[in-house]
Amino acid sequence: MPQPAHQPAPSTPVAARATRTTGRFPRRTTPPPAPTHLLQAAAGPTAAPARTPCLPHSPPCRAANTHPPAWRKCTRTLVNSRPCWHERREPQTPHFQGTTPTMSKVRTRFAPSPTGFLHIGGARTALFNWLYARHHGGEMLLRIEDTDRERSTQAAVEAIIEGLKWLELDWAGEPVSQFSRRERHLEVIRQLLDAGHAYYCQCTPEELAEMREKARAEGKPVRYDRRCRELGLCPPHDKPLVVRFKAPHEGEIVIHDLVQGEVRFPAEAMDDLVLMRADGTPTYNLAVVVDDHDMEITHVIRGVDHLTNAARQTMIYRALGWEVPQMAHIPLIHGPDGAKLSKRHGALGVEAYREMGYLPEAMRNYLARLGWSHGDDEIFSTDQLIEWFDLDAVGKSPARFDFAKLESVNGWWMRNLDQEKLLRRFIDWLPHAPAEQRERAETALKKLEDENTRARFEKLLPALRERAKTLRELFDLAWFLFAGRPLEMNAKARKLLNDDARALLAELHGRLSALPEWTEDTLEQAVRTYAEEKELKLGKVAQPLRAALTGSNVSPGIFEVLEALGREESLARIADQAA
RNA sequence: GCCCCCAUCGUCUAGCGGUCUAGGACGCCGGCCUCUCACGCCGGAAACAGGGGUUCGAGUCCCCUUGGGGGCGCCA
């Protein structure tokens, strides 16, 4: 399992292989679409359209001539105030360690932005990426999309990594910080500018807001009106400049999606999106294209909320002359009310599910079934998931998150997981118990170090697990094994222990202490005989006994409990409650 | 407002033109088992959103309506 290290390893010159565009994914069966009638001119730098001259007041710049040496002069001020490109050193790009590309290998990536915990939708996206890669013998990479410096936090990065680890979704190499690849992104922006696929724009956020408002009021599509597109602006300039992509004027962008099928976006719907902000930082859509390309991602699997980004990114790929990766946009997960998943419905961080006592295998099982199916099958081991998962069985309609079903699936895994593994899961869970159980959990953890207690627990585990839907319930059910005397009684247990019951316990204590052998069988025989003699139904005897032994009205079979607890402890507990 | 996507029991889904009086699972209701609670087993209620086409034949294909969702940032 990779460590959450964020220091890029010493670099392989990513840039060097970054421009390779052919023969990289020979295993592809469906070649990427080429509806290039509108973007033919965008085939690459060599096919760039004519340059527009600079404005009179600007000094000559790259946009105006084709001499490479002019670069330096110009790039000095490309980023309005900050000189970031003037020294043309090799960009420090992360080395995608351990992921030496094999031509035919499927490479997916999970690319969360670290602005919060790993929520349930993100977890499923990660799972699908992971399963798809595994199914095809490839690998999943992890990229942290931390270009939004305001909202990205290290704590979130750690929470995401922690969440993935809990779900046991591993990735190849080190996590890649998108922010750390900034230089490379700027380099590509420069390339785009150079080729005439991008231009400087001087519009301010205020002007743009005004533009949008007007368009909306007139019922027109809300888009940038491209007023700077042919101005030939370039830095230095009296206003801050951004770099925009030149979207095609006509035709359409067609994306071939493995889940959504063929989706067409008319060119009129495409905006001249910003590639570089006024502060000189690259934007998401540009960064994603560059990173996916450099990381040699073959399949981009993400939420449908990115579908329009797919169209935008496709334009950028084409302008760069790069091959577009296969794409799959999976439906989103909704809350029980069909609306967006809200906090109280399940938009919780995966650590919350861990706390609630769900098992990773159950989580994977449930999440996989949300939007994907394999006939009538409901329960899947991870190996089966890997064997059977594929994008063609992923539906297009959104699914609602259903706690009841999750719980049921979890219950199945509670009952059927390998005993050793369940034990380990339980012990691993204890330190993550919810706050109100933390104290007891610590006690249990300590008690489990005691061989005797541990043996009791293991002995009763088969009976306990059958009654628990979650690790948390298992813990509640098992608590009486760890609790000290005198046992705390719950309300129903107290009610059970009336005077008659206490008197009965006193008699029973006598009988049981006389027993030569303390086994489930001898105990059952003794108790049954006692009940018959007293002409009582077994329940009348078992329930007070249960209360005395477990402090509860619910437990595994009473004779099992008696045996597991042992003679000494059992008799002591009975004596505690006897009259 | 504009663009895109979706639509089978309450929920997740099977169904890829005839085998559908629509199957499974969760949940719900009834029962059996029984020392409690579970597990397990048996049974039940419960759906093709509506309207037009196409076809000998439509849950399955097409169109419209309605309803949901996503997107329209110098966020990702």
pLDDT in tens, A428-458: 999 999 999 999 999 999 999 999 999 999 9
pLDDT at A55 over 70: no
* Mean pLDDT for chain A overall: 82
Beta strands in A267-369 (DSSP E): 274-276, 299-303, 326-330, 333-334
A534 is known as an active-site residue: no
CB-based contact A110:A132 (threshold 8 Å): no
Q: Please name the nucleotide lying closest to A221, CA to C1'.
A: B2
Q: What is the signed CA dihedral for A65, A68, A69, A72, rounded to 10 degrees?
A: 90
Q: Please name the nucleotide lying closest to A366, CA to C1'.
A: B12
Angle at A24 between CA A20 and CA A30, to 5 degrees: 130
User: Which CA-bearing residue is nearest the C1' of B69?
Assistant: A398
A31-CA/B9-C1' distance, Å: 41
A127-CA/B4-C1' distance, Å: 25
pTM: 0.82
What's the complex ipTM? Answer: 0.95
A542-CA/B21-C1' distance, Å: 50
A305-CA/B64-C1' distance, Å: 27
End-to-end CA separation in angstroms for chain A:
58
Nucleic chain B: which protein residues 381-420 of A have CB below 7 A from it?
A: 393, 395-400, 402, 404-405, 407-408, 411-412, 415
The stretch A566-571 carries a mean pLDDT of 95
* DSSP structure class, residue A32: P
Whether the CB of A279 is less than 7 Å away from nucleic strand B comes out as: yes
Residue ranges in A195-230 assigned as alpha helix (H):
205-217
As ranges, strand B nucleotides with an atom below 7 A of a protein CB are 1-8, 10-15, 23-27, 34-40, 68-76
How do residues A153-188 score in pLDDT, each as one tens digit? 999 999 999 999 999 999 999 999 999 999 999 999
How many other CB atoms are there within 10 angstroms of residue A164's CB atom?
Answer: 27
Whether the CB of A177 is less than 7 Å away from nucleic strand B comes out as: no
What's the CA gap between A573 and A551, in Å, rounded? 10
Closest to A578 measured CA to CA, from A487, A502, A497 = A502
How do residues A528-560 score in pLDDT, each as one tens digit? 999 999 999 999 999 999 999 999 999 999 999
Treating both helix axes as pointing N-terminal to C-terminal, what angle do A538-550 and A499-513 enclose, rounded to 10 degrees? Answer: 90
Taking CA atoms, A283 is separated from A185, A269, A273, in Å, by 9, 20, 9
Q: Per-residue confidence at A249, pLDDT binned at 50, 70, 90?
A: confident
Helix or strand (DSSP H, E) at A320: helix A307-320
CB neighbour burial string for A507-536, b if at least 16 within 10 angstroms, e if fewer: ebbeebeeeeebeeebbbebbeebbeeeee
What's the CA gap between A361 and A354, in Å, rounded? 11
- Collapse the DSSP code of A427 into the 3-class scheme (helix H, G, I; strand E, B; otherwise coil) and give the result: helix
Query: What are the backbone dihedrals phi and psi of residue A482, each rounded to the nearest 5 degrees, phi first?
Result: -100, -20
Look up tokens 């706390």; give the residue: A355
Q: What is the signed CA dihedral for A129, A132, A137, A141, rounded to 10 degrees?
A: -10
CB-based contact A198:A244 (threshold 8 Å): yes
Q: Per-residue confidence at A344, pLDDT binned at 50, 70, 90?
A: low
User: Which CA-bearing residue is nearest the C1' of B67?
Assistant: A338
> What does the DSSP assignment read for A368-421?
HHTTB--TT-----HHHHHHH--GGGB-SS-EE--HHHHHHHHHHHHHHS-HHH
Pairing of strands A176-177, A139-144: parallel
Catalytic-role residue among A340, A343, A492, A537: A343
The stretch A186-196 carries a mean pLDDT of 96
Nucleic chain B: which protein residues 39-98 of A have CB below 7 A from it?
A: none
Residue ranges in A83-222 assigned as alpha helix (H):
120-135, 154-166, 182-194, 205-217
Whether the CB of A340 is less than 7 Å away from nucleic strand B comes out as: yes
